[in-house]
Structure 1
Amino acid sequence: MPNVSFDGSTFALSDIQENPARFARRLERAKINPGHALCHCRPDSPRKLVIRRYGSLYHLAGWPDDGPHHTDGCDFRKTHDASSTAGNDGRAAILEGPNGMNVRLDASLVQREATSSPGPRAAGSPGGMSRRTASLLAFLQALWANGRLNAWRGSSMARGWGAVNAMLLGGLGENALINGARAQDSLHVMRRYEESERDAINAEFDVFLNGIHNDGKVSRRALILGEIGEVADTQYGKSITLRQRRQRYFTTPTLIAAAAKKYGHAWRAIGEASARVVALILIERTPKGHLRVVDLAAMLCSAAFLPCDSMHEVAMANRLVAERRTFDKPMRLSDGDTMLPDFVLLDTTPATHIEVYGMNGMASYEHRKLEKQMLREVSGVPVVEWDTDRERLEEVRLPAAQRNT
């Protein structure tokens, strides 16, 4: 993990990410003069970093179009691939620009003539819009990819929620828009709890929640992103609690059942010590003042918050992190990659694909497996294949790392 410098001093990037409140004043000064920070992944050629403000804190992000110039082991390295958001397609639901992301969701953040019935899906965007719309899951995945949370750079450091928060907000951008409105007014990424910052964290969150109101005719909704801690029964239905704050968000058994079916791998992993389950929840306030979940997306992650599609992938990701490998977890955010692997080892030459086969026997799965195997053979791409039915993870042989980054 590289060092970064601003305000006349040099710091470890991990310290900035995990403890953003400690550096707020210094980053504020650097944002004014000289207007940027520096990444020292290339000591002979430091790269500029954008300083972005979201709420009361400041976060670092890569300079526009400079991602390929960072080293392979740098958190700010970014190339355009299948994990990238929509590029130059102006009609795409999720756009990325120098001022941040511009997102059009298929869920409405303003519900007119709201009723007491929550419904599992928010109303769609107004008619006549030329841009496509994105689901909550697509937005959650794009946030992960844009913040480079699907990459691991061989660090010996753990990735906690403080770093997740910083990387998400750095990638989102301080001038980001969601459905045409400021993201800062409609999306709150939960902060890591710090006793020394308790009052500031609570005050900031309370201000955000105050923007969610319902007068019986218009319901102004908002999005909250955090790690699921508990799904529990209540006297009138269900509730969801995020690990970052003991606040209950009420919902219906119908919505919970739908989420458990739609996001099965993630839902079954809630409470698993080796995994994390993150959620993007759409909430509104009931006429009585309670906070209610009207829609959500859930995503399974490894212990280091790398996105995964199964618990077998979680196990592989955890092993790669423990062995300090440099790798990516590709995310299919657009069409175009016909042999997208489960993981890509970047510390071998050439890069090595890793496939985790956990659905053996299904005809469509076996057909797709064979198709990808043939494509790799033709292209000469090395691959490690783990058949979860035939061998234990510790028996899988990985190629030795050829460089430490």
Structure 2
Amino acid sequence: MSQVSFDIGRVELADLQEYPARFANRLERAKATRGYALCHCRTDFPRKLVIRRYGSLFFLAAWLDDCVHHADGCDFQKKPGTDTPAGPDSLAAIIAGPNGLNVRLDVSLVQKETASGSQTRDIGSSTRASRRSAPMLAYLQALWTSGGLTFWHGTPKLRSWGSVNAMLHSGMGEAATINGSPAHDILHVMRRFEQEERFAINSEFAAFKRRIANDAGVSRRALILGEIATVADTQFGKKITLRQHPQQYFASMTLVDQAAKKYRHAWRAIGKPTARVVALLLVERMGEKHLRIVDLAAMLCSSVFLPCDSIHEVAMANRLVAEHRRFEKPIRMADGDEMLADFVLLDTRPATHVEIYGMNGLASYEQRKAEKQALRRAQGIPAIEWNVDRERLNQVVLPSPVRRARHRGERVKLNSSGCATASAAPASEQFGLASLC
């Protein structure tokens, strides 16, 4: 994990991400005087970082054209192309530019009741009608991609919600927009709860909720992002709570039933100790105090918030993290990738694809599997395959990692003590990290 500096001395980036309020005053002074921070991931030449302010907190981000110059394993490092999840198409629903994510969602953020009872969409939106729109899950995935949350750098320090919050804000950009409006007026990323910061956290959330209004026939909605804690019954439907705050969000039975089907892998994992379920909620005001969920997207994640497509992927991701492997979870943001792997090990030469087969026997699935296997053989891409019906996770033998020397480019093969063996404790015991906040 990298160290950063912005005044006298250095601090661990992880500490800054976990406890941003503790460094707010120092970062505010640095932004006003020095104007930048430094990342010390490289000993030969520290890299400058942008200091960004969101509300009362400050976060650090790499300059867009400097991401590739950070060292391997640094949170600010991005390979070419990883900061543009939707590509250069000007009519794309999600556009990653130098000022942040420009997004057009297929939801209505402002609605007005007409005399006939019908409603109009997004009053005053500046986005063009010809531009495509994205579903909420695609936006959630784009946030994870732009924030670097699809990578794990092999660090022994685990990633909790404090780091997720900081990385999301850093990746969005200061001038990010949603349906033509500033993203930070529309989207609230829940803060990691800290007892000593509870007053500030509650005040910020209350101020955001005041923007969610329903008066004079106009309903102004907002997006809230956090980790699902519970889904419970009420007299009239369901209520959802997020792990970061006790606020209750009410939803109809129909909406929850639809979400359970549409995001079935995520929904089944709610409450499991080895997984996380992140939700993006579109909410509106219901009476004076309550919030109602109009729509939602749910994304299954590993214990350290790496996005996953199944509970088997969660188990594999948790194992790779426990063994300090450096890897990526590719996310399909556009058509065209014929060999999108479940995971890619970045600490082998060449990189190794990791495939998890959990739908064995289905004709279309077997055909697609065979096609991807043939493409990899033709291109000489090594792959590790886990057939969940035939072997346990701890029986899967992973290739030994190699480590690139951080600054001079040498490759050093790790000895046997550098990686846990495949015969370690079962995934349910070794890779369960349920105590993270």
Q: Same fold (TM over 0.5)?
A: yes
Task: Give the equivalent residue in structure 1 for 2:193.
Answer: 193
Task: Give the equivalent residue in structure 1 for 2:168.
Answer: 168
Task: Give the equivalent residue in structure 2 for 1:60.
Answer: 60
Alpha-carbon separation, structure 2, partners of 1:100 and 1:305: 22
Deviations 1:200-252 (A, max 9, x none): 00000000001101015100000000000011111111111001011110110
Percent identity over the alignment is 63
Whether 2:425 is the aligned partner of 1:397: answer no
Name the SS for the 1:355 alignment partner: strand
* Residues 173-182 or 261-270, more deviating: 173-182
* Residues 154-163 or 44-53, more deviating: 44-53
Task: Give the equivalent residue in structure 2 for 1:371.
Answer: 371
Matches within 5 A, 1:136-215: 136-215=136-215
Task: Give the equivalent residue in structure 2 for 1:351.
Answer: 351
- Number of residue pairs matched? 402
Task: Give the equivalent residue in structure 2 for 1:308.
Answer: 308
Query: 1:136 and 1:301, CA in 2 relative to 1: closer, same or farther beyond 3 A?
Result: same
Task: Give the equivalent residue in structure 2 for 1:39.
Answer: 39
Task: Give the equivalent residue in structure 2 for 1:243.
Answer: 243
What letter matches 2:61 in structure 1? A
What letter matches 1:204 in structure 2? E
Name the SS for the 2:77 alignment partner: coil
Name the SS for the 1:359 alignment partner: coil
Alpha-carbon deviation of 1:154? 0.5
Which of structure 1's runs of 4+ aligned residues deviate more than 3 A?
80-84, 122-128
Alpha-carbon separation, structure 2, partners of 1:9 and 1:113: 57
Alpha-carbon separation, structure 2, partners of 1:82 and 1:74: 15
8 Å Cα contact 1:277/1:301 also seen in 2: yes
Name the SS for the 2:402 alignment partner: coil
Deviations 1:352-399 (A, max 9, x none): 110011111111111111111111101111110001110000000001
Alpha-carbon separation, structure 2, partners of 1:270 and 1:62: 34
Task: Give the equivalent residue in structure 2 for 1:4.
Answer: 4
8 Å Cα contact 1:114/1:218 also seen in 2: no
Structure 1: segments with no counterpart, 5+ residues: none
Name the SS for the 1:196 alignment partner: helix
Task: Give the equivalent residue in structure 1 for 2:335.
Answer: 335
Alpha-carbon separation, structure 1, partners of 2:114 and 2:275: 37
Alpha-carbon separation, structure 2, partners of 1:336 and 1:37: 38
Task: Give the equivalent residue in structure 2 for 1:255.
Answer: 255
Query: 1:251 and 1:114, CA in 2 relative to 1: closer, same or farther beyond 3 A?
Result: farther
Alpha-carbon separation, structure 1, partners of 2:98 and 2:18: 25
Alpha-carbon separation, structure 1, partners of 2:220 and 2:34: 39
Alpha-carbon deviation of 1:80? 3.8
Q: So what's the TM-score if we normalise by structure 2?
A: 0.88
Name the SS for the 2:403 alignment partner: coil
Alpha-carbon separation, structure 1, partners of 2:81 and 2:356: 21
Alpha-carbon separation, structure 2, partners of 1:80 and 1:254: 43
Task: Give the equivalent residue in structure 2 for 1:229.
Answer: 229
8 Å Cα contact 1:114/1:216 also seen in 2: no
Query: 1:399 and 1:34, CA in 2 relative to 1: closer, same or farther beyond 3 A?
Result: same
Name the SS for the 2:199 alignment partner: helix
Alpha-carbon deviation of 1:114? 8.2
Name the SS for the 1:66 alignment partner: helix
Alpha-carbon separation, structure 1, partners of 2:364 and 2:234: 41
Query: 1:359 and 1:279, CA in 2 relative to 1: closer, same or farther beyond 3 A?
Result: same
Alpha-carbon deviation of 1:61? 1.3
Alpha-carbon deviation of 1:94? 1.2
8 Å Cα contact 2:84/2:95 also seen in 1: no
Structure 2: segments with no counterpart, 5+ residues: 407-437
Name the SS for the 2:209 alignment partner: helix
Name the SS for the 2:261 alignment partner: helix
Name the SS for the 1:9 alignment partner: coil
Alpha-carbon separation, structure 1, partners of 2:288 and 2:201: 25
Alpha-carbon separation, structure 1, partners of 2:59 and 2:83: 22
Alpha-carbon separation, structure 2, partners of 1:260 and 1:232: 13
Task: Give the equivalent residue in structure 2 for 1:76.
Answer: 76
